Amino acid sequence: MGPSVSAGQSARALRELLSLFLRLGVTAFGGPAAHIAMMEDEVVRRKRWLSQADFLDLLGLTNLIPGPNSTEMAIHIGRQRAGLRGLLVAGSAFILPAAAITGTLGFVYVRFGAAPRALAALYGIKPVMIAVVVQALRSLTPKAIKSRSLLALGIGSFVMAALGVNELVCLGVAGLAEWAVRKRFAPPPLLLGGAVSSGGVAALAGAKVAVAPFSLPVLFLVFVKIGSVLFGSGYVLLAFLRSAFVEQRHWLTEVQLLDAIAVGQVTPGPVFTTATFIGYLLGGPWGALLATLGIFLPAFVFVAISAAFLPKIRGSLALGAALDGVNVASLSLMAVVTLQLGRAALVDWLSVLLACASAVLLLRFKLNSTWLIAAGALVGMLR
């Protein structure tokens, strides 16, 4: 009976992961910060699969490895819930809807020679996503700020990020500073220099790709390399793609690249599905498939490796302190991104009203964010 019950529980967990992340893959607009906020709402507060502390630890860990943060959070949650099979199911379910939508838009682009206009629904969706992120920050911040030093680090990280300091530097400084506070010694300056240098090495690694005629294997390998070294936002992704496909290989024009980035931004799910669009432009359906596999494959590998070290990190006084610092800095980065999104989303009285109403319904009445996104989309289309 024991093995059969265990197998039944495992199958149910996989079905739950598949259902949740397929739904999020269709409804998660607004970029990584909004995606992570929606995941926190579902897996911490509604389903109680993870505690707030566990969710924060996974968030900190995703910020320390290259790749798309929200996709890596989905993969981490799947692994925590159902092991390696859960890792594959959750990550794939979150990626596939966005890849299918983006690939379809790639087909339309190739057929008609222009990018489809951004859906009018996005006007109403963006203010809702601001409220979703605010809800997540309100929920996670008290758990993350466990001391005065962490409060000071959170404020400092917010200021650094708002001034444009690299995300890795913000995370590295916060982790090392909290480690130093608890261990009572100053952080070694070489470690900080190494953190800064790693970003430079990553940027160089993305630039040093030999010029080659177009082929599907080369397309796949280029996206594997980008997925293996890329830290940061969609703007960083734009820089890598421009270097690889416009400047070095001349496979895309500037206009095509900007259209690809726009499609990745306005579709739900991971922004990295921009790769799917580019793959379709260059190699049709097979190009779309290989580009998608290439850019997301490293995320699965990095999560599988790094997750195994989380218990050891949390069990170590020094490393646990560093992780606490990284967690606080991660929330500060989310807060800065929210302000940046707010400037783009709250453009008139109706969008402000949508954001405020969504915040009240989320914080006071605990309404599921999926319904609010649907309502926001309807408002946008009617407008």
Tell me the pLDDT tens digit for each residue of 136-188: 778 778 877 888 888 999 899 899 988 888 777 887 888 888 888 887 644 44
Q: What is the overall mean pLDDT for the chain?
A: 79
> Among 28, 33, 125, which residue's Cα sits nearest to residue 345?
125
Return the higher-pLDDT residue of 32 and 205: 32
pLDDT at 6: 66
Give the per-residue pLDDT at 231.
Answer: 61
Q: Are 171 and 330 contacting, i.e. CB atoms less than 8 angstroms apart? A: yes
Q: Name the nearest CA neighbour of 77 among 89, 68, 66.
A: 89
**Percent of the chain, pLDDT > 90?**
26
Give the residue-averaged pLDDT of 103-132. Answer: 73
| pTM of this structure | 0.65
At 36, is the pLDDT very low, low, confident or very high (cuts 50, 70, 90)?
Answer: confident
pLDDT score at 270: 86
Q: How far apart are CA 358 and CA 337, in angstroms?
A: 18
For the chain, the straight-line distance linking the first and the last C-alpha, in angstroms and rounded, comes to 58
pLDDT band at residue 241 under the 50/70/90 scheme: confident
pLDDT at 3: 42
SS3 183: helix
Q: What gap in Å lies between CA 147 and CA 176, rounded to an integer?
A: 16
Structure tokens at 121: 């629904």
Residue from 70, 78, 60 nearest 31 by CA? 70
Backbone φ and ψ for 20, nearest 5 degrees, come out as -65, -50
pLDDT at 92 > cutoff 70: yes
What confidence score (pLDDT) does residue 204 get?
32
